[in-house]
A and B are shown apart, each in its own frame.
Chain A
Amino acid sequence: MTLAIEATGSRRSRWSSITAWDLCRWAMAICVTIVVVFPIWWMVNVVFTEPGTPVSINPRLYPTSFAAGWDKVAMIMRETGYLHAYYMSMAYALLTIAGVLLLGSMAAFEFALFEFPGKRPLFGLIMLSLMVPTAVTIIPTYLLTAELGWINTMQGLVAPGLASAFGLFLLVEFMKGLPKEMIEAARLDGARHFQIYWHVVLPLTRNAMVTLAILTFMKTWGNFIWPLIVLSNAEKYTVSQVVGLFNAPFSHQTVDVVMTANLLAAIPPLLFFLIFQRKIVEGIAMSGSKG
């Protein structure tokens, strides 16, 4: 903001001298790009540098040794449970996505397109839950998971996150825009209720489902607090917990090994972003403008 004010303020001339303003905004955009990208770039450089080179000789401003980085990756994969943590995080994310999409789309189908007694209060109650902070539910949800005997299990990790009110909201908003005539036409053709959902509505909802799947992936891959309490057994750790282990104050790991662990955790979301960036940005913009 301070930057923006200075720039607009320092542009004393009017539209005629476009160059001064151009210079300003380019300079600012480049400065922000450096601030945003550099920490991530620095992480990469620390990984791909011969370990032990003093900062005074090699300030880690660019990668210098591909082999050194590769050795660290191989070492982490070989000597720690990182690969299994990857499997845990992937399973956690994929199962959550499958559940959120299936349960959410089934419920959204009804809430968006049909009338039935009790619909409004029920939907209202679920939407109200969007306002309730996680802080109040997390401890009792943990206690319930423990009562069910689901601590250190995949179902304990996944099940509490499946009834996503946010997902339902997103899908209902989308399905409301579907043409009602198509459903009527399908019904006249003799399609049963579930068939209409599966063969007519689901294919039309693909765009919203993809957006929701991507946002759900980002959220579960980045979820730190829930795996932290549900998985106490180190053999079940997810990537977030293993990264936490590497970064613990007494882990006795050197910075380049820690950064390798961090980089490995960053790869899936960064890849996702490269592939789906438009969908991600639009999904967030949409949830913001509708919320």
Chain B
Amino acid sequence: MTMNLRHLPHYLMVLPFVALFAAFFLYPIVSGFYYSFHDWNAVTEPHFVGLANYERIVGSRDFSRAMWNLVTYVVITVPLGIAVAFGLALLVDSFSGFWSNLFRSVFFLPVVLPAFLAATIWRWMYAPNFGLVNMVLGWFGYPSVNFLNDTDTMLFSLIAVDIWVSAGFNMVILLAGLKNIPVDLYEAARLDGASRLQQVRHVTIPMLAPVLFFVMTYGLISALQVFDVPWLLTGSSFTNYGGRQNALLFPVMDMMGRAFGSVRFGQASAYGFILTALIIVVTAGMFGLRAMRSKP
């Protein structure tokens, strides 16, 4: 008992944080798991339906469409985004002093802008006829493209905005990693006659591997939950979302539509767990790949 009293101040200090953490993180996970096995519209009593919610989601056309879009999107946007960020980091690193700082800040600018703003600005830049992108295309004699309403271009329009938004963020993290690589390694490589490209290939990339791994895993986890940008690019609402022919329908959008459009909270909760399972599998896969590669 005296033991407990001695520790009491410690518990009192962590209590506010832990209480809110339990209420708004632990409880929702448990209750969400419960709802995912129930049919519930938030008005009538929830009634148990077993795995029906999960079956209904996986069997739905929207789900397969959203998953297909997601896979295509993630496979392109994550590697491309990191490649661009890596290129920017090398570029900024090749300058020094004032110019290095200036370019770093400028390239970081889009990250500061809320994603919802980036999406709304780009929606108008993509507009047919008077939008800036089409205006520039027009100068070169190309006809106007309806980027956000043509199923051939919609996904790529999203990816372009996505990279514009996130490249600066990854660049800053990679840049911090670049600064930690000892200069001697480059000098040794140079003495061995390595060209600049070979130095990047044999010194920078291996030394940066842990940071690249972090950036890639983090990028994957957020890309799998993409919401704000496609939602706003398509001018979505809870009753009408995903854009033309659902070309920009993604799982979180589908989940939000089921919750607040069709008022099926059981199904929406189940959707969250399906998505989480997918994220865990992908993350575990990433860690597995890393463990395999680090072995000789």
Residues of A within 8 A of B (CB): 1-5, 8-9, 11, 25, 28-29, 32-33, 35-40, 42-43, 46, 55, 59-60, 102-104, 106-107, 109-111, 114, 116-117, 119, 122, 126, 129, 131-144, 146, 159-163, 165, 168, 193-194, 197, 218, 221-222, 224-225, 229, 240, 243-244, 246-249, 255, 258-259, 262, 265-266, 269-270, 272-273, 277, 280-281, 284-286, 288-289, 291
A224 and B121 within 8 A (CB): no
A59 CA / B138 CA spacing, docked (Å): 12
* Chain A positions within 8 Å of B11 at CB level: 116
Q: Which of B83, B109, B123 has the most chain A CB within a 10 Å cutoff?
A: B109
Convert B87-111 into 0s and 1s, putting 1 for each residue whose CB lies closer than 8 angstroms to a CB of A: 1101110110001000111111111
- Chain B residues with CB under 8 Å of A222's CB are 113-117
- Picked from A114, A140, A269, the residue with its CB within 8 Å of the CB of B10 is A114
**Residues of A close to B109: CB separation below 8 A:** 36-37, 40, 273
Q: How many residues of B contact A (CB 8 A)?
A: 100
Chain A residues with Cβ under 8 A from B135's Cβ? 55, 59
Stretch at the interface among B56-64, B150-158, B218-226: B218-226
Pairs of residues from A and B, 7 with the lowest C-beta to C-beta distance, nearest first: A222-B114, A288-B173, A1-B83, A140-B32, A4-B87, A285-B176, A140-B28
Q: Which residues of A are found within 8 Å of B68, using beta-carbon distances? A: none
Neighbour of B25 across the interface among A28, A137, A221, CB < 8 A: A137
Q: What's the minimum C-beta distance from A168 to chain B, rounded to whole angstroms? A: 7
- Which one of A2, A32, A160 has the highest number of Cβ atoms from chain B below 10 Å of its Cβ? A32
Q: Which B residue's beta carbon lies closest to that of A219?
A: B114
Residue of A nearest to B99 (CB): A29
Whether the pair B17, A132 counts as a contact (CB closer than 8 A) is no
**From A162, A248, A269, contact of B112 by CB (8 A):** A269
Q: Is the CB of B42 within 8 A of A143?
A: yes
Nearest residue (CB) in A for B29 is A137
B16–A3 contact, CB under 8 A? no
The reply to whether B215 and A288 form a contact with Cβ atoms under 8 Å apart is yes
**Contact assessment for A35 and B164 in the assembled complex, using a CB-CB cutoff below 8 Å:** yes
**Cβ-defined contact, A137 with B91, below 8 A:** no
CB closest residue in chain B, given A55:
B130
* A246 → chain B closest CB, angstroms: 8
Inter-chain CA distance A272–B252, complex, in Å, is: 30
Question: Which residues does chain A contribute within 8 Å of B127, judged by CB atoms?
Answer: 255
Please, how many angstroms separate the alpha-carbon atoms of A167 and B130 in the complex?
Answer: 44
Q: Compute how far the CA of A197 lies from the CA of B107 in the bound complex, rounded to whole angstroms.
A: 39
Q: Does B9 contact A (CB under 8 A)?
A: yes
Which chain B positions have C-beta within 8 A of A240?
114, 116
Asked whether, in the complex, the Cβ of B275 is within 8 Å of the Cβ of A144, the reply is: no
* Complex interface: chain B residues within 8 A of A270 (CB): 112-113
**A110-B13 contact in complex given A43-B121, A163-B21, A229-B260, C-beta closer than 8 Å:** yes
B124 within 8 A of A: yes
Distance of A2 Cα from B207 Cα, bound (Å): 21
Interface residue? B20 (CB, 8 A): yes
Q: Using Cβ atoms and an 8 Å threshold, which residues of chain B touch A38? A: 132
A8-B196, A103-B16, A269-B113 are contacts. A224–B228 as well, Cβ < 8 Å? yes
Chain B residues near A139 (CB-CB < 8 A):
32, 35, 255, 259, 265, 268-269, 272
Known: A135-B252, A255-B124. A144 touches B218 (CB 8 A): no
**Cα distance A222–B11 in the bound complex, in angstroms:** 34
- At the interface, yes or no: B293 with Cβ under 8 Å from chain A? no
Contact A265 B117, beta carbon cutoff 8 Å: yes
CA distance A14 to B80 in the complex (A): 29
Are B9 and A194 closer than 8 Å at their CB atoms? yes
How far apart are the CA atoms of A193 and B7 in the complex, in Å? 11
**Distance in Å from the Cβ of A171 to the closest Cβ of chain B?**
11
CB distance from B87 to the nearest CB of A (A): 4
Q: Given A9-B197, A285-B172, are A136 and B272 neighbors across the interface (CB < 8 Å)?
A: yes
CA of A192 to CA of B53, assembled, Å: 54
A/B interface sample: 23 pairs, CB < 8 A = A32-B91, A32-B103, A36-B168, A39-B121, A103-B20, A116-B10, A129-B25, A133-B279, A140-B29, A144-B27, A163-B18, A194-B9, A222-B117, A244-B232, A248-B235, A255-B124, A259-B124, A269-B113, A281-B108, A285-B176, A286-B176, A288-B173, A289-B180
- Which residues of chain A are within 8 angstroms of B117 by Cβ–Cβ distance? 222, 243, 262, 265-266
